[in-house]
Structure 1
């Protein structure tokens, strides 16, 4: 089979008729809207900005003084041979450069401080905002895309704020002072110079629009590269198992080529912009030399005045040329800011309602009443389901894949919200209580064990950050993890690697159980907690789960029916409905759906 990568078919194993390319999921904001948002972020640092702008004014005035000082140097020293001016002028030049250096240091440091502070604040706010989103948000936004927005996009904003902002503000003040000097020295020549200025601005404005579009595409393609990297690195076992290294190399190479293509278009425009500005500047200087030279020859202007004018004009044109260099940086920053603010404008779909109360400690029962649920308001996954689970009951939920088992348990901590009906804990609708108080009473152990690249101790204490070292040790013992933890090179201080990569599957699951034991929540959800383990590991984990389940109201999702035979009650979910319920023996005696599942595994 030949795998064809092309612009029209970058994902060759996908049905193109039903496939939509990843979008930026990003609305376009106007420059005014973006700048208003950035202003709100900058506002807390207004004092430092004012000081930096005042020192910029000083710096720009001193730059103009440098250009003006050419006049007395040429006229008074070299033409008139005035020794008194020669005695004073070097000291004046030293003072100009000294105060200019001090001003440069002050405004540069303050603006860099403000820029870095803004980036710190934006990254923190963006991370916090993402953490408030429900599970459905992470289904819509790929991991690599989110990482790209926090790292790459915010870095582009940082570059625009810390570097472009510094340059543009400095150049603005510098140009104002230098143009004032130019008009002071010779207003007629200054008017001729201004004829060239609109011509110089035109390519900046025209190319700026294209830079903005290319910048947005660059950030989108960078996010796609991040997605590809994340998938390949996290799925490297599958890649190797299926010998798909070459395929992944081609797929990643294709994505890199897409990014390269956009980047080259951007580079082509940037390379074109500077020589255009240089040529326009050359035209202006040639015109001024011709006109100014005629005035000097005619005696209507001194050589000092002319060279001072020419120096000031060249210095004033430098900010205009610099604008052509920082314009792409600003456009990239605006494009990235658009992506960041669009993400921050997404309101979490699941939040505390106004007037939500704290959920008191669980004492009685959990009641599901006529609940319905669908993903994206399409086909219903849960249909008018009714269920009452008394405190202390171990309820097993079984059924074929796609029947709605995991969805049902995800509704309890409000990872998802029901479309209709109600879920009540001790008579209180879970939508009327705060998310924090609800989830504080729920512990979860899943098939996909989530551990952090940290020490064993920190992974366990994640269940209760106020727990003592003895509590952590007791939790590990109850989870039958203490023996293997103490054999690790540094015991509880051993770094376990990304996702617990340095531990076996059973060891990872027992650390996860220890974390849940330490949380000591009254409601427990076990979602296929042993399905990925071998028989020996399952035996160890099962003993740990028995300790975890003591005095807990437990929801057990399992495909292995051998793990749930001792549960107080079993419900069979099919097509989002409860089709059977009872004990293991009662369900087998009915010879219905449960017996069919049982026979599929044991006969």
Structure 2
């Protein structure tokens, strides 16, 4: 019940339309008991007493009842559809906004397909609960109330006999509902796994085809799909059992009532009209009760999905704004790490890092894989929060300012370039107001203007999903143009040229040199050739700074930097030659 009440809170802003819909629903619901009530005068006064005026009156009355029933049914259906769809739209917006608030560790641990399944599959099931099932149950509830009134009004003793089976029917509805919710929860988890599997296989088609693994992936899909089939079969077993059970209980009640009520008519203590009016109301009552049982199945399925949806809504992000966070104005660009430790799950990644980066300084971070280079970068825009210690920008602790104002001061260019399936101009401006002159200037500075003009629609060319229609070097230059357009005082470059060929790297390197002018720049690079001219280089080992200085200074020392450099530029060249057999 608590879960359903939480869902109904999303309906609250539209309570006027909901109230109007409920009025129309009550009128639709009243039409059924009114029809049942008219059975007695039809039988007693028309067929037995032969009253012609009652025949005309009742005939026209029934026509008007169904005419207004149709009108009110249309109005309540439209209004409830509006309320339900608006509530689902609001829920979907809240869930997406909540996902956007989550820090990177959440996305590191949660498969993309699972997140997509929460927004698409789970909310679609919730939609059935909030709008369709809620409307059906409410409408049937009004009909049930009216019909109960009629059966008790006609014969309270017969009604009491009929309702003796109610506890058994209620128990069946509750028991089946609990079973269905459990199965539905398992089904949604299986659907999330299947969605995640599909996302991986579809985005990884190049590797699948390269290794001829189509049949292997078909088998894996078959296993996941068969699990869904088994869960669906369980759900149908419960649904299939509940309906016949309700039929049997209803049949028992009707049989007893015909035997007892028919005896009263034969004895003359009740009229045929009264008995058939009672029976009509009782039989009409059976249908909405059966529908409520059926809708309860949909409600339980939706509530299972709602539980998963609220898990996201209730999840508190590990990285968030403090209650007293202030806006960070445009910064000069000095950055200071003080006694910084960072632990990821159970592994200590950074150990007591102390580092000061001056305004407009170009700092390079080098080291072997897994020593914490990218982690150090990710702490600056608070993609992660330090475990202990502090990071200051212009003498201000980055945790004391809002995330939005902090990240407005930082531009990011990474190895894995993310471009959205939109035009080049929108990718460069990305969310900001589009200024054609500024976009072109940013593209020129990024050495991208010339290749953009060669594209079919120039700056309005759609780049495809993840920029698939562009080469690696072109995508990287668009990313650099995006950083130019943002014009932030702090620039973070994470392996920005490592995946490029020599020709592309040269073009991108020129663009990066333009971008770094007048900005505080922190670079992580695997290719040491790209950071030789940095103002300062630090070397990380086991999450600790072990060397610091310019390229020349570090080459004069015996240490890890010279060893890495020698490996790449001297011994490395010979070892990387692939000898072909004759």
Provide the residue aligned with 1:87 in structure 2: 56
Q: Alignment partner for residue 424 of structure 2, among 430, 434, 456?
A: 456
Q: Alignment partner for residue 482 of structure 2, among 515, 536, 545?
A: 515
The alignment partner of 1:41 has SS state of: coil
1:175 CA drift (Å): 0.5
- Displacement over 4 Å in runs of 4+: none
Do structure 1's residue 49 and structure 2's residue 18 form an aligned pair?
yes
1:326 CA drift (Å): 1.0
Taking only aligned residues, the RMSD between alpha carbons, in angstroms, comes to 1.3
Provide the residue aligned with 1:335 in structure 2: 304
CA distance, structure 1, for counterparts of residue 256 and residue 460 of structure 2: 74
Per-residue CA deviation, residues 115-168 of structure 1 (Å, 9 max, x unaligned), is 111100000011111111111111222211111111111111101111110111
TM-score under structure 2 normalisation?
A: 0.96
1:501 CA drift (Å): 0.7
1:360 CA drift (Å): 2.7
Do structure 1's residue 403 and structure 2's residue 371 form an aligned pair?
yes
CA distance, structure 2, for counterparts of residue 281 and residue 467 of structure 1: 67
Q: Alignment partner for residue 468 of structure 1, among 431, 435, 438?
A: 435
Per-residue CA deviation, residues 33-90 of structure 1 (Å, 9 max, x unaligned), is 3123223222212222222222222122221111111222222222221111122222
Provide the residue aligned with 1:529 in structure 2: 496
Matches within 5 A, 1:179-328: 179-328=148-297
Provide the residue aligned with 2:561 in structure 1: 594
The alignment partner of 1:51 has SS state of: helix
1:198 CA drift (Å): 2.1
Provide the residue aligned with 1:419 in structure 2: 387
The answer as to whether partners of 2:147 and 2:285 remain within 8 angstroms in 1 is yes
Provide the residue aligned with 2:576 in structure 1: none
TM-score under structure 1 normalisation?
A: 0.93
5+ unaligned residues in a row in structure 2: which ranges?
571-582
CA distance, structure 1, for counterparts of residue 348 and residue 307 of structure 2: 35
5+ unaligned residues in a row in structure 1: which ranges?
1-31
Higher alpha-carbon deviation: 95-104 or 39-48 = 39-48
Provide the residue aligned with 2:523 in structure 1: 556
CA distance, structure 2, for counterparts of residue 183 and residue 593 of structure 1: 92
Do structure 1's residue 497 and structure 2's residue 464 form an aligned pair?
yes
The alignment partner of 1:555 has SS state of: strand
1:280 CA drift (Å): 1.7
Do structure 1's residue 431 and structure 2's residue 412 form an aligned pair?
no
CA distance, structure 1, for counterparts of residue 164 and residue 223 of structure 2: 48
Do structure 1's residue 440 and structure 2's residue 429 form an aligned pair?
no
Matches within 5 A, 1:132-151: 132-151=101-120
CA distance, structure 1, for counterparts of residue 268 and residue 37 of structure 2: 20
CA distance, structure 2, for counterparts of residue 430 and residue 578 of structure 1: 22
The answer as to whether partners of 2:264 and 2:270 remain within 8 angstroms in 1 is yes
CA distance, structure 1, for counterparts of residue 55 and residue 326 of structure 2: 82
Higher alpha-carbon deviation: 78-87 or 394-403 = 78-87
Provide the residue aligned with 2:547 in structure 1: 580
The alignment partner of 1:273 has SS state of: helix
The answer as to whether partners of 2:364 and 2:525 remain within 8 angstroms in 1 is yes
Provide the residue aligned with 1:480 in structure 2: 447
